[in-house]
Structure 1
Amino acid sequence: MNNFTFYSPTYFVFGKDTEKEAGHYVKRFGGSKVLIHYGGGSVVRSGLLDRVKNSLQQESVPFIELGGVQPNPRSGLVYQGIELCRKEGVDFILAVGGGSAIDSAKAIAAGARYEGDFWDFYEGKPVTDALKVGTVLTIAAAGSEGSGDSVITKEEGMLKRGAGGEALRPVFSILNPELTQTLPAYQTAAGATDIMAHVFERYFTNTKEVEITDRLCEAVLLTMIKEVPRVIADPNNYEARANIMWAGMVAHNNLVGVGRDQDWSSHGIEHELSALYDVAHGAGLAVIFPAWMTYVMKHDVNRFAQLAVRVWGCQMNFMNPEETALEGIERLKQFLSSIGMPINFRELGAKEEDIPLMVEKLGLGETGTMGNFVKLTGKDVEQIYRLAL
């Protein structure tokens, strides 16, 4: 196990009706003027936005609003939010929604305290200062409610990039599983796939002797395998929703990733799909991850076989562990398909002729690489896209 530091100070408020406490927690964590940042649609129709606003009014906390966040959140709205925060003297951002609203809120929070272009952070500049962010989560997926990470799409060139830093970790997050019960099955499944992908990015490591985090990763995956079909069958299953919602946070606040090298190439490869086609991030990951696994499996066959046995219940073939590893990948594809996820380019709506463009936009050039488990060149990425056809 590698040396590590782990600091996860987010205060979690979990359970039914907890969104009604948003004003209390904004005030508790020092917010004196709030930007409520959200998408629209269901947040407004369901009355959630009104409940959040009422909670702020009850605590006499003034607020302004900025809606319009899209899936795969855009830079244009971030610039609007930064300008609005500066103009109105906002010192706290409350994101109401899923990962897109939270990621956009984090970008605004960083940009409002920065004299340059906020996009600098999405090109590698560390975020060391930001406005405080709180969240009211409506979809279990990105894990942004418990992480210091944010992903934004820049409209100029449709570049999808990530930024991170402890300054972006929410000071509090309200998690009410009831708020996820109205999600369509496809969104639920895409969110679940994203959760599983966050675990896979950490599970496939070259670090030895990380049994505790291996087991934690496997526990999250087993939970998803059990609970996702239950909520697809019965969207109002509160207990299953609750397990999925907490799994989403655990999968990405880095509890399951400490002490080990992590990969993250599949997320980068997928970002080009969702940037180009505006597909759900989880749906893109459902296509990319099995292809990536197939391409890199021989690098550490025993790790893939371990996953197949411990998570998918495969029988270990000690004479031919590669057979076990491949069976595990096939079980993953079958599971994703069973919950309504695409597993190839055709089902996603992606096109073979766009592969060279997506590889180019990754910016690896002739010598650059991505990932850690296996360092991938542009040619490797092209082969992974083709395996996903």
Structure 2
Amino acid sequence: MTNFSFCNPVRVEFGKDKEKKIGKYMSEFDAKKALVLYGSERVRQSGLLDVVEKSLRENGVEFVLLGGVKSNPVLSKVKEAIKLAREFGADSVLAVGGGSVLDSAKAVAAGVCYDGDVWDFFTGKSPTSALKIFDIITLAATGSEMNQGGVVTNEATKQKYSLHSDCLYPKVSVINPLLQASVTREYLVYSASDIIAHSIEGYFTAASHPELVRMQIEANIKTVIRTTEILLADPNDYDARAEFAWAATLALNGYTYLGVDGFSYPNHMIEHAISAVTDCAHGAGLSVVMPAWMKWYALKNPAAFERFASEIFGKSTALEGIEALKAWFDKIGTPTSLSRVGVTDANLAEVIQVALMHSKDWGMSDIYMRESLEAIFNLAK
């Protein structure tokens, strides 16, 4: 187990009706003026936004609203929000929605406190200060509610990159599983794919991986598989919804990377190229990439793939485990072929070109060259 430092300062308020206290939680951190950022009108139609506004008013938190954050958040929206937050004099950002809204909120929080272009934070510069960040999560997938990173797409350059800084940890994250019950069937299964992808990146690519962490990852993946099937049958099963939500948080809050060394995020790197070009849902793109990448990569770490096959699906060989995962994706209805996420013969070359740009910028170009990317995409057809 390699040396590590671990500090996760996020306060999680988990459970029923926690969103009703968001104003109280924010006032405890002396938030006075908040930009409330959200995505679709689902949060208004469900009544959640009314609950939020009432709680903020009761606790003396002034606010201004901005909706319209899309599922693959874009730089132009972040810049719009930065402008509004500055004009309002915001000292905090409250994200009400899924990971895309929270990722945008983190970029906004950093951008308001910076004189330059916020895109600098996605291309090498790290923010040193930010507005206070709070969130109410309505979709379990990204784990952004308990980490210090966020992903945004630059529409002009097709770069789908991330920013990271300790100043971007949320102060309080509210996770009420009931708020996630209205998520569509499609986004439930896309979320399952996303959580599994967060779990396997280090599991398969790390040079050093503690046994304890492997067991934690396996438990998380098995929880996602079990609860997804329960929720597809009964979307209102609270206990399954709660476990699914917490599994999403655990997959990317740093806990499953403690003592892990020499890992990378190839599935995310490749998928970011796909969704940057086609604007497909992130989890949908991941369920296409994962089985293909696993077939291509398996011989580089056969022991991990054989263990995955045995522990997750009770199979004997690496290939059987990969096929079992793909079969499960097919069973729950998340895509497993490129055509299902908008990649065709007409735009495949562009996707590969973007992936090459990403592999270079992510420091992975020694492995993910044109030849290897073409092989992976061929396996995904």
Q: TM-score, normalised to structure 1's length?
A: 0.94
TM alignment of 1:54-93, pairs within 5 A: 54-93=54-93
Residue 382 (1) aligns with residue 374 (2): yes
Could you tell me how far apart the structure 1 residues matched to 2:177 and 2:358 are?
44
Could you tell me how far apart the structure 2 residues matched to 1:236 and 1:365 are?
39
Are the counterparts in 2 of residues 366 and 378 from structure 1 also a CA contact under 8 Å? no
Could you tell me how far apart the structure 2 residues matched to 1:28 and 1:282 are?
35
Residue 346 (1) aligns with residue 339 (2): yes
Could you tell me how far apart the structure 2 residues matched to 1:365 and 1:15 are?
38
Could you tell me how far apart the structure 2 residues matched to 1:61 and 1:271 are?
37
SS of the equivalent of 1:153 reads: strand
TM alignment of 1:66-215, pairs within 5 A: 66-208=66-208, 210-215=210-215
CA distances 1:192-230 after superposition (whole Å, capped 9, x unpaired): 110111001121133335101111111100101111010
Q: 1:297 corresponds to which residue?
A: 298
Q: Structure 2: which 5+ runs fail to align?
A: none
Q: 2:329 corresponds to which residue?
A: 336
Quote how far apart the aligned CAs of 1:371 are: 4.4
SS of the equivalent of 2:64 reads: strand
Could you tell me how far apart the structure 2 residues matched to 1:103 and 1:365 are?
19
Letter of the structure 1 residue corresponding to residue 228 of structure 2: V
Quote how far apart the aligned CAs of 1:182 are: 0.8
Q: Structure 1: which 5+ runs fail to align?
A: 317-323
Quote how far apart the aligned CAs of 1:25 are: 0.7
- Rate the CA distance shift 1:344–1:370 in 2: closer, same or farther, 3 A: farther
Could you tell me how far apart the structure 1 residues matched to 2:20 and 2:277 are?
38
CA distances 1:236-262 after superposition (whole Å, capped 9, x unpaired): 111100000000000011100121132
Quote how far apart the aligned CAs of 1:365 are: 9.5
Quote how far apart the aligned CAs of 1:368 are: 7.8
Could you tell me how far apart the structure 2 residues matched to 1:382 and 1:206 are?
23
Q: 1:23 corresponds to which residue?
A: 23
Letter of the structure 1 residue corresponding to residue 242 of structure 2: A
Are the counterparts in 1 of residues 273 and 358 from structure 2 also a CA contact under 8 Å? no
Letter of the structure 2 residue corresponding to residue 388 of structure 1: A
Matched-pair identity in %: 39
Could you tell me how far apart the structure 2 residues matched to 1:257 and 1:75 are?
29
Quote how far apart the aligned CAs of 1:115 are: 0.8
Could you tell me how far apart the structure 2 residues matched to 1:330 and 1:205 are?
19
Q: 1:229 corresponds to which residue?
A: 229
Q: 2:9 corresponds to which residue?
A: 9
Moved more, 273-282 or 158-167: 158-167
- Rate the CA distance shift 1:289–1:370 in 2: closer, same or farther, 3 A: farther
CA distances 1:250-276 after superposition (whole Å, capped 9, x unpaired): 001110012113220110100111111
Could you tell me how far apart the structure 1 residues matched to 2:125 and 2:347 are?
30
Residue 279 (1) aligns with residue 271 (2): no
- Rate the CA distance shift 1:86–1:174 in 2: closer, same or farther, 3 A: same
Could you tell me how far apart the structure 2 residues matched to 1:355 and 1:18 are?
45
Residue 43 (1) aligns with residue 43 (2): yes
- Rate the CA distance shift 1:94–1:367 in 2: closer, same or farther, 3 A: closer
Letter of the structure 1 residue corresponding to residue 193 of structure 2: T
SS of the equivalent of 1:362 reads: helix
Could you tell me how far apart the structure 1 residues matched to 2:311 and 2:226 are?
14
- Rate the CA distance shift 1:368–1:131 in 2: closer, same or farther, 3 A: closer
Quote how far apart the aligned CAs of 1:370 are: 4.8
SS of the equivalent of 2:306 reads: helix
Are the counterparts in 1 of residues 16 and 178 from structure 2 also a CA contact under 8 Å? yes
Number of equivalenced pairs: 380
Q: 1:319 corresponds to which residue?
A: none
Could you tell me how far apart the structure 2 residues matched to 1:281 and 1:205 are?
21
Q: 1:242 corresponds to which residue?
A: 242
- Rate the CA distance shift 1:95–1:369 in 2: closer, same or farther, 3 A: closer
Are the counterparts in 2 of residues 356 and 382 from structure 1 also a CA contact under 8 Å? no
Are the counterparts in 2 of residues 264 and 371 from structure 1 also a CA contact under 8 Å? no
- Aligned match of 1:359 in 347, 352, 363? 352
Q: 1:325 corresponds to which residue?
A: 318
Could you tell me how far apart the structure 1 residues matched to 2:291 and 2:270 are?
12
Residue 264 (1) aligns with residue 265 (2): yes
Regions of 4+ moved over 6 Å: 365-369
Could you tell me how far apart the structure 1 residues matched to 2:343 and 2:313 are?
28
Quote how far apart the aligned CAs of 1:298 are: 0.4
Quote how far apart the aligned CAs of 1:364 are: 4.2
Q: TM-score, normalised to structure 2's length?
A: 0.96
